[in-house]
Amino acid sequence: MAVQIKEREHQDVETEQLMSGCEAIAEAIRLADVDVMAAYPIRPYDGVMQAAAKLIANGKMDVEYIVADGEHSQFEIVKHACAVGSRVFVGSSGVGWFYAFEAIAVTAGLRLPVVAICGNRALDDPGAFGTEHNDSLAVRDLGWLLPWAETAQEAMDLALMAWRVGEDKRVSLPVAIGLDGAFLTHSQQIVKIPTQAAVDKFLPKFDLGDRLLHPDNPITIAPQVDQDWLMEIRMQNDQAMRKAHDVVSEAHAEFKKLFGRGGESPFLDEYMTDDAEYVVFGQGTLALPMKVAIRRLRKEGHKVGLVRLKWFRPFPTQEIVKSLSRFKAVGVIDRDYSFGSPYYGGVLYNEVRSALYSLDKRPTIVGFIAGLGGREIEQPMATDIFEKTKAAAGDIKSGDVCHWIGVRS
Amino acid sequence: MSDPKETSTTVEVVYRGIFQKTLAQRICRSIVLAARKRGHTGTAFARYGDSPERNGVPAKQFAVVAVNDLELEASMAKYEPAVVDVSIAVDDTLVKGVESWAWYGRQPIWKPIKKDGFLLVTSDNSPDEVLAQTDKAERPYTLVTVPGAASFAGLWVFKDDHTDYRVLGALAKVAPDWVRLDDVMALIKEQTKDESAVQSAQYGYDAAQLRPVKAGEGTSGHEKLQFDKPGWTTMRPGIVVDARKPGERNPQYKKYTARTLRPVVNFDTCIKCTMCWLDCPDECFEVTPEGHYEVVYQACIGCGICAQVCPVKDCIVMVDELRFEDNQDKWQFWKKDHDGYNKWFEAKSGVSADPKVRTPAARQEGSGNANPSANPTSASGGDD
Amino acid sequence: MAVETHGTGTLPQIKGVKDVPYDELFVSGHRTCQGCESALVMRHMVKASGPRTIVLGSTGCMYVANTTYYTTPWVVPWMHTQLGASGSAALGTAAGLKVLMRKGKIKDEKINVIAFCGDGGGADMGLGAISATLTHKDYNCLVLLYDNESYANTDIQLSSQTPYGAVTTFSPSGSKKRLMHTRWKKNVPGMLAAGHPESRYIAAGCAAYAVDLMNKIRKALELGGPTFVHTLDPCPKGWDYHPQYSQELGHLAVECGIWPLYEVIDGVCNLTGPTRQIAEGRKKRKPVYEYLKRQGRFAHFADEDVEHFQHEVDKMWTEWLIPGVIPFTVAAKDQTILKIDKKPLHEQKTA
């Protein structure tokens, strides 16, 4: 339950509240004047739907709130509401996200800027509620923008960015924000809620232009096609995703100007990397225990740092190359798995290696799989990760490995 | 029999979707299996863009025969062959053009046939009559008619009227290097154990009439319909296409090449009941200023519903498409030249335009009207 | 006010064939089969609704055939939706329009929302979503299920709407099994009417009775809230008959009592067309054999198969609480309490 720290005297004063990641997203929904949202219960994302329902019931926001009969319906409902010009919001977790997979695929194909959260949760079977990233990552090829949040503040900020970037006519692609289940969806943190006036400056009205489905704009959306048409349509999606990179940068600069936060880079959050020799690389809340470890190891004289990825899609290749090429070794921590992949590494591991492949001088890149199913990344594990990363420096081939951290045999 | 000079040959079967799907499949498979008998190899495949097939809409299947697996590879994983050696049209109305889907345009039946290739057409008309409805040739080919009316069936009950055997026999006549008559007959014998089926192949071989066609022979009376497809920079984003405008008919897909019969209307006997216009799934009727309903031949696909629902006997009559040279709507003709139109109506339909004349049922034979036995469905035949 | 759930009276009932509007909002040039009754349903559907309409079309013949390839026969705005998503598409579109009008982001006006589905997408995969939508009385939308009794677009596979014994590619007739499909057709409109009392209009129609069908669609759109219409569409490809008989088969389906025409308006059930005449006793039901013998998909039927089919149709007319609509019989002991004086089966004569 969100608790206000400071009394809100006027509507136009920025306030601080103690709230969970889900509740922070609900605030973003309110500030963005979302028109339609569709809910279906599955933990841990559905905290956002519960928080939103309270806001609606108490008259804090006016959104058509539809409880669907399943995730497939849920995502189809908002997709179609978006097509008639509504700003929309939806979300799911784990296998619920997968139940909506068809709708997820076509939403990107249709270039409809649906904004969703994926409360990252391990996939069944076995059922488990803890966080893993495979749900979001499974859609990585389809044309969704995929940012990851570290804090509740960032969750809210990324939601506002999502409507801004996704709805931009140069992009017009859906966005799914990854929120680590429990650690971020449910843990309460201090969050600064911006003013409506500031948000209104940042977020223009949603305008589909001549793609709006309305009797005044006679169009057919998505006729059946064959091999004579498909590559051209895919090409358009590719171009949009390329443009998304620049639009994210633009929006980030505007956001920073208006709200005074967002970090140096739109894409990467670097921690103690200026003089680092060995860094770890990852996304989401795993950055938090790694930062604690970094401070501890620095005291012992190790030159270590962290590069946290904020946008997995569009993958900021140039920024990553520029950043990681400075180091002797990079330990990529995947809170996901990719069975049977090259070197049996996780998804981030293989993408980072691919990005750095053509560099003349490459750091050693070691793979780690940790924290699956919401297992906490404890300090001894963090130390272990840094030690293994450091040990691999200087020998490129020693990176051709993926270590599973903290697993009982 | 000599060995072929080329290393592979490609045959396409052009047919009416669904009605002739099984027929086309049998022909293509038999070509490969017959060639196998002399040690060649081959592949048979459908053009997957045709799928799912729609009743009457022109479709294609292919058979490729090669001297060995290596030579066959060039023809594998292909959507459709760009060039064929032989094209087999199993309905003679297909010579009026092939428009298989939107943006396809109306393509001449000989379009993929190589220079000096063969066009086999099943028909009870003479080669010259068939040629008169075929687009002007761009390069020489040989037209071959194989006797027999178009064989139509449904999905579940095949009409075994030996069309495939006759076609194979004719094919053996024009492509003996690849498809030997003996092999064809042996294959049919194996598959059917039916001597009459074997003899049908012989008959197709004997009765096929060859008519060499020079470049420039044929008709230029058919509509030229061709499209250039846009690219990704001009296609609207978001998979959006413009809607049709009110009063427009889809210019990208006209569909009239799906027709084997077309309706002719006796405006004198029309009682303006609206049923033809109302019940046409393809919106083929336009209302005239006097309240008649005229057929828009650019849109009509010849399903025959209008003729069935019309309450006036012989007011709408379905007639063999090959009897018509143009796609012009006819009400203006009736308005300007009433007697001339009625004579035209009678000549085409074989039915009197005079409402007082009750034409006997015998007119069903030989007038080119909808042949009820064209539909072999239903075990007991009913009244269709 | 468009945001309320009743209509504005702009779609009056059509008096007869001469009163049918001329405007065509689904035009020629769609890659459907010769004799496709589903295409005719599309044509009548938007004729009835008029141009202030948004149509959502789920995957199936009326999507693929109509737009093959990269083209459209639609004058009104149309958008594709997924196979089982017609209910959701209707709901999302209607909700989007409603809130945008309420917030003043678009002009407040009556816009018809129609989402169609085939029997595969509607009666099977998408039944859950349709059911959900029919409970949302705050949104104006019509779900139209066009039933050609198979998954026709994938070259004819059986669905829950395929009649008993019919041949499809998933139920061929062979030497070991004459009938592979022995499930009886699920009663969709009746089920939806019984299960969704807040839906104001649910109907069964057929394009062979075009004016009846168009009026049903208009009633649905005028009453407002979520509504449902189910049409039976003879399909020459799947049913295997010459396309010219499409209208005739539609008539036969109704005249044999196989496909009753009816509507349920605010909980009141009306029979329409020949179905009414049959129920009144003015018209005798034709033997189902008249209908079955015309179609190649029943060509393999033995006498016992025809008898079974007839028996089931007879039951529907003599035993059901409302023929074609509600299949229950009330236990004899409860009939007086419930004031139902329907005789039990063994005491009834067949039609």
How far A103 CA sits from the closest chain C CA (Å)? Answer: 7
Token pair in block for residue B45: 């495949």
Say which DSSP state C63 is in.
H
| Boundaries of every domain in chain A | 3-259, 268-404
Whether C198 has its CB under 8 Å from any CB of chain B: the answer is no
Residue of A nearest to C79 (CA): A221
Range 26-65 of B in CB contact (< 8 A) with C: 49, 51-57
Cα(A355)–Cα(A350) distance, integer angstroms: 9
pLDDT at B375: 35
Contact check, Cβ <8 Å, A172/B238: yes
The position carrying tokens 């609206």 is B274
Give me the domains of chain B, ranges plus CATH numbers. Answer: 8-213 (3.40.920.10), 259-374 (3.30.70.20)
The vertex-A137 CA angle with A133 and A139, nearest 5°, equals 145
Q: Testing the interface with A: which of B100, B232, B233, B236 to mutate, by most A Cβ within 10 A?
A: B232
> Are A233 and B232 in contact (CB < 8 Å)?
yes
* Mean pLDDT within A50-62: 96
Residue B359: per-residue pLDDT: 61
A215–C64 CB contact, under 8 Å? no
This prediction's pTM: 0.94
Query: A99-125, pLDDT tens digit by residue?
Result: 999 999 999 999 999 999 999 999 999
Option in B278, B280, B307 nearest C20 (CB) = B278
Cβ–Cβ < 8 Å for A211, A183: no
Residue B360: the pLDDT is 59
Is residue B381 predicted with pLDDT exceeding 90? no
Residues A34, A258, A52: CA angle, nearest 5 degrees: 25
Question: Domain extents for chain C?
Answer: 17-300
CATH class of A268-404: alpha beta
Interface contact A83, partner C, CB < 8 A: yes
Structure-block tokens of residue A393: 């420096």
Tell whether C305 lies on the interface with B, counting CB pairs under 8 A: no
Please determine, for residue B365, whether its predicted confidence score (pLDDT) is greater than 50: no
Q: How many other β-carbons are positioned within 10 Å of the β-carbon of residue A93? A: 27
Residue A6 scores a pLDDT above 60: no
Question: How far off is chain A from B242, nearest CA to CA, in Å?
Answer: 5
> What are A327's two structure tokens?
């180091």
Cα-to-chain-centroid distance, residue C7: 22
Whether A3-259 shares its CATH topology with A268-404 is answered yes
What's the token pair of residue B270? 């029309």
- Radius of gyration of chain C measured on its C-alpha atoms: 20
Question: What pLDDT does C9 receive?
Answer: 57
pLDDT for B367 beyond 50: no
Q: Which residues of A touch C56 (CB under 8 A)?
A: 80
Predicted confidence band of residue B2 (pLDDT cuts 50, 70, 90)? low
Measured in degrees and rounded to the nearest 5, phi and psi for residue A9 equal -85, -45
Instruction: Give how far Cα B155 sits from Cα of A61, B159, C299, Å.
Output: 57, 10, 12
Find chain B residues with C-beta within 8 A of A112's C-beta. Answer: 238
Instruction: Scan residues 279-318 of A and list those with Cβ closer than 8 Å to C.
Output: none
Kindly state the tokens that stand for B328: 């012009």
Q: Which residue has the higher pLDDT, B378 or A84?
A: A84
Task: Give Cα separations from C304 to C171, C287, C298, C311 (angstroms).
Answer: 18, 14, 12, 10
Q: What is the pLDDT of residue A3?
A: 52
* Cα torsion B118, B123, B126, B130: sign: negative
- Nearest CB among C39, C67, C75 relative to B245 is that of C75
Q: Say what the pLDDT of residue A363 is.
A: 97
CB–CB contact B232 A172 (8 Å): no
Specify which residues C201 forms β-bridges with.
C227, C265
3 state SS of C113: strand
Amino acid, single-letter form, for residue C112: N
For residue B48, with 0-12 CB atoms within 10 Å meaning exposed, 13-18 middle and 19 or more buried, which class applies? exposed
In angstroms, the CA C300 to CA C149 distance is 18
Average pLDDT, chain A: 96
Cis peptide before A44 (omega within 30 of 0): yes
- Give the integer Cα–Cα distance in Å for B79 and A227: 9
With tokens 């297909």, the residue in question is B94
Average pLDDT over residues A68-85: 98
**Which pLDDT score, from 0 to 100, does residue C340 have?**
79
Q: B180 falls in which pLDDT band (50, 70, 90)?
A: very high
Q: What values do phi and psi take at A402, rounded to 5?
A: -130, 120
- Per-residue pLDDT for A164 more than 50? yes
* pLDDT score at B313: 93
Q: Do A211 and B240 touch (CB under 8 A)?
A: yes
- Which architecture, in CATH terms, is C17-300? 3-Layer(aba) Sandwich (3.40)
CATH 3.40.50.2300 for the A3-259 domain, yes or no: no
Residues 12-31 of chain C whose Cβ lies under 8 A from any Cβ of chain B = 17-18, 20, 22-31
Q: Which residues of C touch B281 (CB under 8 A)?
A: 32, 35-37, 39-40, 43, 246
Radius of gyration (C-alpha) of chain A in whole angstroms: 21
A223 and C72 within 8 Å at the Cβ level: the answer is: yes
Give A66 to chain C, closest Cα distance, Å. 9
Answer whether residue B364 shows pLDDT above 90: no
Q: What was the pLDDT predicted at B370?
A: 38
Decide if A219 and B239 are in contact by the 8 Å CB cutoff.
no
Q: Helices then strands (H, E): number in chain B? A: 10, 12
Terminal-residue alpha carbon distance, chain B: 48
Q: Each residue of A325-345: pLDDT tens digit?
A: 999 999 999 999 999 999 999
Query: Residue C3: CB partners within 8 Å, gap ≥ 6?
Result: C98, C101, C102, C108
pLDDT confidence tier of residue B144, bands split at 50, 70 and 90 = very high
Interface-testing mutation among C75, C78, C242, with chain B (most B C-beta atoms within 10 A): C242
Can you read off the two tokens belonging to residue A245? 């990179």
Name the residue in chain C with its Cα closest to that of A103.
C82
pLDDT digits (tens, 9 = 90+) for B302-352: 999 999 999 999 999 999 999 999 999 999 999 999 999 999 999 999 999
The DSSP line for A369-387 is: E--GGG----HHHHHHHHH
Q: How would residue B363 be classed by pLDDT, with cut points 50, 70 and 90?
A: very low
For residue C233, give the nearest of C117, C326, C126, C112 by alpha carbon: C117
CB A52 within 8 A of CB A22: no
Cβ separation of B241 and C24 shorter than 8 Å? Answer: no
Q: How far is A105 from chain B (nearest CA, A)?
A: 14
pLDDT digits (tens, 9 = 90+) for C86-104: 999 999 999 999 999 999 9
Which pLDDT belongs to residue C335? 83
Query: In the block, which residue shows the tokens 């443009």?
Result: A243
Which residues of chain C register pLDDT less than 50? 1-8, 344-346, 348-351
Complex ipTM above 0.90? yes
Which SS3 state, helix, strand or coil, does residue B219 take? strand
Q: Which residues pair with C229 in a beta bridge?
A: C144, C203
B:145-174 residues touching chain C, CB 8 A cutoff: 154-157
How many alpha carbons fall within 13 Å on the CB side of residue A202? 30
Average the pLDDT over B285-305 and give the result: 96
Mark yes or no for CB contact C68/B299 under 8 Å.
Answer: no
Task: Give CA–CA dist B120/B112, Å, rounded.
Answer: 13
Structure tokens at B262: 């077309």
Indicate whether A8 pLDDT > 90.
no
For B20, how many CA atoms within 13 A lie in the half-sphere containing its CB?
32
Q: Looking at the partner chain, which of C31, C37, C39 has a beta carbon nearest the beta carbon of B101?
A: C31
The confidence score (pLDDT) of residue B366 equals 37
- Summarised one tens digit per residue, pLDDT across range B87-134 is 999 999 999 999 999 999 999 999 999 999 999 999 999 999 999 999
